[in-house]
Amino acid sequence: MTEFIKGLGHHSAENDIDESVLQKKTNSSMKWERVLRLVPVVLLLMVSAIVGMLIQPTWIVHQFTVTPEMLESPESAVSYQDSGLTPADLERYQQDASLPVQNEVLILEKNEDGSINYSQLIASKHFGFWSLLPAMVAIALCWYCREPLAALLMGIACGALVMQQYDLTENILLPSMATNQTAGIILLYLWLLGGLMGIWTRTGAAVAFAETVTRHFVRGPRSAKFVAWALGIVFFQGGTISTVIVGTTVKPISDQHRVSHEELSYIIDSTASPIACLVPFNAWPAYVQSLIFIPGVTYLMTESDRINFYFAALPLSFYAMAAILGTLLLSFDVAPFLGKRFRKAIDRARTTGQLSRINRQLTFESKTVSSQMQNHYQSHAAEFVVPILSLIAVAMGSFFWTGTPQVRWAFGLALLISAITAYIRGMTLQDIVKGIGEGLQGVVMFSLILVLAVTMGNITQTAGGGLYLVECLGGSIPYWLLPGTLFAITIMIAFSTGTSWGTYAIAFPLTMPLAMAIASTQQLADEKLYLMINFACVLNGSVFGDQCSPISDTTIISALTTGTDLMDHVLTQIVPASLAAGVAVLGWTLLALTCN
């Protein structure tokens, strides 16, 4: 018996040794696997560096007429021959691998009658196909690693190497961050919006408002869906804040009235980003305007001009309008085309009370989101309503008063009102400051992604990606075909990456110059309208791709907060969303035909 026990101990020790050896081999294999994953990254950096050393840029000069009223210092104007940007000068730069002394030169030409004409010469360069490398790297890595922060940083690094800028921090990141537009994005999205979200979380104001509306207006399936739709409109800041608050507050009531989880998740997801781009009294205009500058286009020269352009193009956001209208029709059970899977889910919930498919798989355990307010504090819906009304009033009032919506003023006042109200109603100053700090922490990563996205846009412009596309496609693609093409391309990028804002950073610097060149070369009668159409296509295509992507944060959170299987949500909503997209493309194409 003793020998038997010893034998068992001997075998147990051998098994432990075998498991230890196996574990070491597994760890070693995993380490080598991780090393191999870094090989493509190193190769991309090496290729970028080699391209920067071997490929000489191609210089192109554009000439724009300037009126005397636009000149700040007409005495700086020189003759065309002395500009340093003549064809002979450009050929010399190409041969010597040198750079122009100035990229922008004001020139004057004297007419026979003695009058003077002024023009602006702007020299731009591109590296041929390699100008698209930063954007292609960012897209590929977003799709491969599902991490926009790392993908954008890698794209920036490749672009810097192509342009032989080896000090990434001093020559690329710091100049991009030390600009008014980047500082404005950080101020709005990090400090003001983050602080406001933090106070609302601390006081429970947004949840109190949503619960009040739900409790007083829901009487059946239709009213439950309509309240979800209306709350999605009210929370027009979009993104995760909208999906979390609406989903967690409406779901308990909608479950009682047999609203399928597929219906609820579609309504929530389809009123998040679409309403955020359609009611842009939020962070969207400040970010997007930083990506749509085109040299020589007067109505896109300043930040104010570009924000006004954004607002002027809002009526052309056909997809956002169709998506919101489609969810409203679904709320009243009169949606025209939902697909078999969606209809089956609705019938299942109404007839059997089974709100989700049997054997569904939840990405995470669904939990109700609660506020972090103190036990003694009683939240009230007015703490959300008053700041929101003040935000809308200031943003819209400043738009009609000054011609530009002062979104930062609006969010600053809303933050101040929320903080003062919370203090008067009994919250301590320490708790208010903690709430603001927690709100800032919640958007730090998003703010960092935005800064890198702006930097990525600058890299794409500087490397000449848009200029190269213009040279390749400017005279070949029919003008009426471009809107649908851009919409499809941005859908693919956003669907693959799961981010609309990351798609903007890649797409806008490439597509805006292309649309402008096509309008010019094909001699369209209404150039600005044509540019607005293509702007709306990129804006809405990115929203559609993000909304339907299974790796998008809003898609995942919409499924999570409503208790829906992620792929059930994706497969049911893609049918009505595609119908809205088809209607939008038809509208853009018909409108583009009127530009000729």
pLDDT in tens, 18-41: 566 666 666 667 777 777 778 888
Model-wide pTM > 0.75: no
pLDDT in tens, 222-238: 888 888 888 778 766 55
Q: CA 232, CA 547: separation in Å to the nearest integer?
A: 14
Question: Which backbone phi and psi does 118 adopt, to 5 degrees?
Answer: -110, 145
Q: Report the largest interatomic distance among the alpha carbons of the chain, rounded to a whole angstrom.
A: 122
Q: CA 127, CA 60: separation in Å to the nearest integer?
A: 11
Helical pair 194-203 and 382-402, crossing angle rounded to 10 deg: 160
pLDDT in tens, 48-67: 899 888 888 888 777 766 66
In sequence order, which residues have a C-beta less than 8 Å from that of residue 259 and are 6 or more positions away? 221, 224, 225, 349, 355
CA 45 remoteness from chain centre: 26
In sequence order, which residues have a C-beta less than 8 Å from that of residue 35 and are 6 or more positions away? none
Q: How far apart are the first and last CA of the chain?
A: 99
What is the chain's mean pLDDT, rounded?
78
The full length of the chain comes to: 596
* Per-residue pLDDT, 2: 53
In this predicted structure, the answer to whether residue 209 has a pLDDT above a threshold of 80 is: no
Q: CA 66, CA 224: separation in Å to the nearest integer?
A: 58
**In which band, very low, low, confident or very high, does the pLDDT at 316 lie, cut at 50, 70 and 90?**
very high
Which range is least confidently modeled, 69-78, 337-346, 430-439, 508-517?
Answer: 69-78
pLDDT in tens, 513-564: 888 888 888 888 888 999 999 999 999 998 898 888 776 667 767 777 777 7
Q: Residue 547 has what DSSP assignment?
A: H
Bridge partners for 117 per DSSP: 109
User: Would you tell me how many other CB atoms lie within 10 Å of the CB of residue 511?
Assistant: 23
pLDDT in tens, 340-378: 888 888 888 778 877 777 665 444 444 434 445 555 678
Q: What angle do CA 122, 124, 129 make, to 5 degrees?
A: 160
Each domain of the chain, given as residue ranges in start order, spans 58-126, 181-594
